[in-house]
Amino acid sequence: MFNQISWTPKLLLAALVGSLMFSAATGNHSKNIAIHSSKANAINQPRPQSETGVSQLDRIKNRGYLICGVNGELPGFSFVNAEGKYAGIDVDFCRAIAAAIFDDASQVQFRDVSAEERFEVLKSGEIDLLSRNTTETLSRDADGNLDFTPPIFYDAQGVLVNRYSKIQTLKELANKTICVPENTTSYDNLQDYLHQFEISAKILTSRDREALFDFYEQDRCQAITGDISQLIVRKTILANPKDHIILAQHISQEPLAPVLIHQDSQWFDIVKWVTFALIQAEELNINSENINVYHKSKESEIRRFLGMDGRLGSDMGLANDFTQRIIEQVGNYSEIYERNLGQPFGLERGKNALWKEGGLMYSPPFN
């Protein structure tokens, strides 16, 4: 089982500090990736399968490993932990894909990409997949020749304030300064919101999330906005975490989903059905601990799902038992969620619960 860490507050802090030090040591963003010139992009640009005859799956198999673009500095989603290993829900998702393709969840290389460069790096062909707390929006989907696979985390945009500021509603942000990261939906949504509700507040922005939290702690801004998950995680290392609250009102919904280039429907199907396999495994109560019991199952739904009958995997160019590989090596959705977000940060499942428990997580049939 991957990165099974028992998270104590100390370890958590060490991990987060370690991750921040790592980023400082390597230069804040774009640690492993430089944006190529447009000429280099043109050379690297993966051409449609119809033109090259080489599918994305074959490219990955020939290379011998998957390349995933991640945030790299966001505990719970993707960061380098105290043991120097990448961890987080976005990271485990990439490992699940590697397990499905190679029967080896470790056959994946992670590259840190900033919010600003993420879509260009994906389009340049340097990464196979962007698994980086990225919100699905129509303009991103349509505009950039990109495809979003199903969300792996349903988030919302929230606002963090000091509880002694007495700010309780978004309207009370009038005449205050609000910190927000650049090149994000958080920035666009904040502008829309202030405009729509005629709230006159100042916006203080930066590409550097850590700088924004510094501004907030120095009271250069009286509120900070972003995906609620990251506010919850980052709040844990503020000087006095209990002094800060997330307002009950939300600015927007932020479905975070993996992204790939719109060019190869087999690759899209693989990434999509790996997501569904994680959800379906939870729904069928199959996890990394009990999967052996299910090898002897006589239920046709389970036999098909685990690839003992039928050819669901091979129809997509994978092994028929790709779901077994994922569950054995990485776990089901619930295991991934608890390992990365539930246990370390106490983040409740909420919208990320299965549909039958009131959430939005739902898999179409494995038929």
Ligand X SMILES: N[C@@H](CCC(=O)N[C@@H](CS)C(=O)NCC(=O)O)C(=O)O
What CA–CA distance (Å, rounded) separates 168 from 132?
A: 30
CB of 364 to ligand X, least distance (A): 25
Nearer to ligand X, 133 or 323 (CB): 133
Q: What is the sign, positive or negative, of the torsion defined by CA atoms of 4, 321, 308, 279?
A: positive
Contact, 123 vs 44, CB < 8 A?
no
Give the Cα separation of 311 and 321 in Å (integer). 9
Query: Least distance from C-beta 164 to ligand X, angstroms?
Result: 25
Q: Kindly identify the residues of this chain, within the stretch 294-353, that bind ligand X according to CB under 6 A.
A: none
Q: Would you say 227 or 264 has its CB closer to ligand X?
A: 227
Closest CA to 201 of 212, 190, 209, 210: 190
Regarding 226 and contact with ligand X (CB under 6 A), the answer is yes
What is the token pair recorded at 213? 């939290």
Q: What gap in Å lies between CA 297 and CA 130, rounded to an integer?
A: 36
Look-up: residue for tokens 């199952």? 297
What is the closest distance, in whole angstroms, from the C-beta atom of residue 185 to ligand X in the complex? 4
- Decide if residue 250 touches ligand X (CB under 6 A): no
- In 3D space, the residue among 107, 86, 105 whose CA is nearest the CA of residue 31 turns out to be 86
Q: For the CB of residue 134, give the shortest distance to ligand X in the complex, in Å.
A: 4
Beta carbon nearer to ligand X, 101 or 180? 180
Q: Which is nearer to ligand X, 121 or 361 (CB)?
A: 121
How many residues bind ligand X (CB under 6 A)? The answer is 20
Task: Tell me whether residue 205 or residue 263 sits nearer to ligand X (CB atom).
Answer: 205
Binders of ligand X among residues 122 to 151 (CB under 6 A) are 133-135
DSSP state letter for 126: S
- Please pick, from the candidates 57, 100, 115, 180, the single residue that binds ligand X as defined by CB under 6 A: 115
What is the torsional sign of CA 305, 309, 312, 313?
positive
Asked if 225 touches ligand X (CB under 6 A), the answer is no
Q: Which of 78, 80, 11, 99 is nearest to 341 (CA)?
A: 78
> Minimum distance from CB of 204 to ligand X (Å)?
14
Contacts of residue 207, Cβ cutoff 8 Å, sequence gap at least 6: 29, 114, 115, 116, 181, 182, 183
186 is a site residue for ligand X (CB under 6 A): yes
Member of 95, 209, 235, 304 binding ligand X (CB under 6 A) = 209
Positions in the binding site for ligand X (CB under 6 A)? 29, 71, 74, 114-115, 133-135, 181, 183-186, 207, 209, 226-227, 230, 254, 256
